[in-house]
Amino acid sequence: MSKPLDQSIRLRRLRASAAIRSMLTETTVEPRQLIQPLFVTEGAALEPIASLPGISRIPLSQLAAHCAELQKLGIHGVALFPKIENSRKTAEGAEALNPNNLALRAIREVKQKCPGIIIFADIALDPYTSHGHDGILNTKGDDVDNDLTVQSLVKMSLLTAQAGADFVAPSDMMDGRVGAIRQALDANGHTGTGILAYSAKFASAFYGPFRDAVGSTRKNGETLSKASYQMNPANRREAIREAHFDAAEGADILMVKPAGAYLDIIRDVRETSDLPLAAYQVSGEYAQLHAAAEKGWLDLRATRDESLLAIRRAGADLILTYFAEAYARDFAAR
């Protein structure tokens, strides 16, 4: 018989059984902490999205019922994204300011038939512009005009608040848009409408399936570069500056996007702000796990759960994820 080590501190004692491990779990993921992104269409039937397995564009007529089902699973929030017909897209994204556009009708429909669900409404022009950028191009057509875009985002936010959204979620990364939106909301009696700010949104390569889902234009088959307004993936300190600006301008919730490759940014923002913090597990993160699982290389459920746990452990209070519904169903079955 071998002689035991002279080791009084043995951390494995705290992992000895499932019951002990459960009692000492430091981080959890619950459906109440997840927000389900939903794509809305004018169509009559579900439209499966090839690059997002298990996710479909939902007809407006079925949207409220779907939200009610999510509520039953313990999911309290949805993020709505419209798929706009190409014929309605213009260089200025004028359809975004149509008071009867698809996004606003979707908000009204859900609030009428499923009033308890929390709606986070996207505020950006990319679903509405013919060029696919998140704003209005300058006179040269080679970059987004920041201040002109903010004017449209403010008008869009007011329409969205009037429709009944609980939170407007500016995802465009224009300078000063949070302050301008907050000022306009308050001046027009929408003091109760919150702002979920995409504070540190990086010019990531992980957005491809999302752009397929909303029909955002790609030039000559290549991914559209948004590097002049979305953040450089190499920059860490800048993300903290962005978050601090949004907080000072009146944001109610900050967000980091993407999540999985930016856990350090989530932790940095968490340690420097007391505001609630969200993180967006984006379409490419979701798609890559599905792709690997389809080849038998990874266990989808186990890697899904681990990825969500990592985002929460890094400091996110809320996670926008395409896994929300599936996770909630498995959570309820435990």
- The pLDDT value recorded for residue 321 is 98
User: 197 and 251 in contact (C-beta within 8 Å)?
Assistant: yes
Is 151 a domain residue? yes
Query: pTM to 2 decimals?
Result: 0.96
Domain limits for position 61: 28-218+228-332
- The pLDDT value recorded for residue 221 is 60
Q: Is 89 in the active site?
A: no
- The pLDDT value recorded for residue 211 is 87
The one catalytic residue in 83, 111, 226, 257 is: 257
DSSP for 81-94, written as a single string: EE---GGG-BTT-G
Q: Which amino acid is at 189?
A: G
- The pLDDT value recorded for residue 160 is 98
DSSP for 308-334, written as a single string: HHHHHHHT-SEEEETTHHHHHHHHHT-
User: 64 and 112 in contact (C-beta within 8 Å)?
Assistant: yes
We report the CATH number of the domain holding residue 326 as 3.20.20.70
Q: How many domains, in total, are found in the chain?
A: 1
Each residue's pLDDT tens digit in the chain (334 positions)? Answer: 788 899 999 999 999 999 999 999 999 999 999 999 999 999 899 999 999 999 999 999 999 999 999 999 999 999 999 999 999 999 999 999 999 999 999 999 999 999 999 999 999 999 999 999 999 999 999 999 999 999 999 999 999 999 999 999 999 999 999 999 999 999 999 999 999 999 999 999 999 899 888 987 555 566 789 999 999 999 999 999 999 999 999 999 999 999 999 999 999 999 999 999 999 999 999 999 999 999 999 999 999 999 999 999 999 999 999 999 999 999 999 8
Is 192 a domain residue? yes
The one catalytic residue in 201, 219, 226, 295 is: 201
- The pLDDT value recorded for residue 261 is 97
User: 104 and 197 in contact (C-beta within 8 Å)?
Assistant: no
Measured CA to CA, the distance from residue 219 to residue 195 in angstroms comes to: 32
Is 259 a domain residue? yes
- The pLDDT value recorded for residue 107 is 98
Is 52 a domain residue? yes
Alpha helices in 176-279 (DSSP H): 177-187, 208-214, 237-248, 263-272
Is 7 a domain residue? no
- The pLDDT value recorded for residue 222 is 66
Tokens 């504070």 appear where? 199
Is 105 a domain residue? yes
Is 16 a domain residue? no
